[in-house]
Structure 1
């Protein structure tokens, strides 16, 4: 797709005062909203500065739940008036990823048809990837001499369609899950003598296999192409308090509660958000005086989203260790 939907989360008035009386309506979320983006102002400014002078390669790394996608969403939300288009691709967490799947799906979502794009005969190489456009694509060219030549043709054809769609920035999220062909195409785009498309990729560094081509993308730099690497860190206690406050209409969160929550979530924004939703639903979050506090709570149950993510991540690490 050209631009992602992002969570705007309207800001209602201050939350109504509640006390935990046993009659708490666990399904009522009227006084709590999705959080604002907290603690990423410097990173967002660095992204905007880097992308203002293309071409550039941007690498955003961080563990699951750290806020990589949210940072990208905030960036793209502010680029609606950009001169060239943005193409957003996401790599699903499939055990066996589809060849060129993220790029193909993103292009398909960006345009309904290729009629009128003025594609050259080289675009006939795209027929196997876009069978629904076969009638609008040129006929397949003569077979290439070998597999390497055929792959080079396909890369050139994909590059051409990005040019015809006027793509200035290709964003690929969760690229640690990408198939090898997609990674090779990103290397192709980044290593050309006249790179036209800026790249922004997000990934979890701890999930990159030693033999992954992503390491080549992150370690090499072409002449004339700027590069920015951002490593997102967990929120501190102040950031945790600000994030929770943004979910509660900007009202104050007690220092003890912020410390308690930051220690038990390791400052991961996703874990903080899901924990606050869970406490709200269970009536463990109340207002006392002019601050929001936890209600006689010594521990936090692990939210299902966070629990499942940790289990999935642990399983992948075990699989990676077994492979090496």
Structure 2
């Protein structure tokens, strides 16, 4: 099995008991011969990998664990996660030297051996061949003693994409979708102490940002956070990037009137992103969002 992506020693996993319990329940069903697909979705930094490593590290030795990941490459690595998983499945390694049909058969054969867990991370970066294999496996897993776990960034699933079609076509009876939410103020306070409210307001409970800010303490913005934020900004449409560049040089608070003067039309540039941002805040309007930050 792959040994990559280990959770750093000392990382505290908070408010993830329900998700871990759903994974345990899926494994119990698989032991009884009724396999499950588990979808672990969330934005970057929400803790998908940490949850998975916490769960897989405590699996019973009798469970065979196969792991793979998709990568953010200009040209996707064809069947990349199965090349990773092949380290624990010799028959799959042999099949990868042949055609795609052989890989389909080898993956199903691997999932047919009790009890097997196949984890594929970052499926939003998967190539088409990988998605095809996962679609076949997910449709048949209910009859196999296995758990298929797929993690992905739900804010990077394009409408009409092959991944969206795969997710929409999964059998409801055999698919579990545990909710992975941002950390509450209480959890952030448990990590950050007296600075908990400020850290929560700055990070919206994103576990990666929280832990990095807490670790940095008074050293300023950590390089890891800066790079993570810049990477997310790079994915925004050009008008939104230009607006952020403008805001970055405005000291303190930027009034809407000032933006109207400096960049007419800025509201139209960002309005189509607002609903997604409010959804991450768990609020339904701009007014509620304002109260969220004021109260924090």
TM-score, normalisation: structure 1:
0.64
Q: CA deviation at 1:125?
A: 5.1
Separation of aligned partners in 2, 1:152 and 1:234? 40
For the pair 1:304 / 2:283, whether they are aligned, the reply is no
For the pair 1:98 / 2:77, whether they are aligned, the reply is yes
Larger RCO (CA within 8 A; separation ≥ 6): 1
Q: CA deviation at 1:158?
A: 4.0
Q: Which runs of 4+ in 1 moved over 6 A?
A: none
Query: Which ranges of structure 2 fall in alignment gaps of 5 or more residues?
Result: 241-296
The answer on whether the counterparts of 1:207 and 1:317 sit within 8 Å (CA) in structure 2 is: no
Pick from 87, 90, 94 the counterpart of residue 66 of structure 2: 87
The structure richer in helix per residue is 2
Partner of 1:204: 153
Partner of 1:68: 48
TM-score, normalisation: structure 2:
0.70
TM-aligned CA distance change 1:153 to 1:87, over 3 Å: closer
Separation of aligned partners in 2, 1:208 and 1:303? 28
- Mark the structure with the bigger radius of gyration: 1
TM-aligned CA distance change 1:94 to 1:84, over 3 Å: same
Q: CA deviation at 1:305?
A: 1.4
TM-aligned CA distance change 1:53 to 1:196, over 3 Å: closer
Partner of 1:110: 88
The answer on whether the counterparts of 1:271 and 1:303 sit within 8 Å (CA) in structure 2 is: no
Partner of 2:206: 268
Separation of aligned partners in 1, 2:58 and 2:223? 32
Partner of 2:282: none
Separation of aligned partners in 2, 1:195 and 1:42? 24
For the pair 1:240 / 2:219, whether they are aligned, the reply is no
Separation of aligned partners in 2, 1:89 and 1:305? 24
Separation of aligned partners in 2, 1:70 and 1:124? 31
The answer on whether the counterparts of 1:37 and 1:243 sit within 8 Å (CA) in structure 2 is: no
Q: CA deviation at 1:268?
A: 0.9
TM-aligned CA distance change 1:42 to 1:243, over 3 Å: farther
Aligned residues: 234
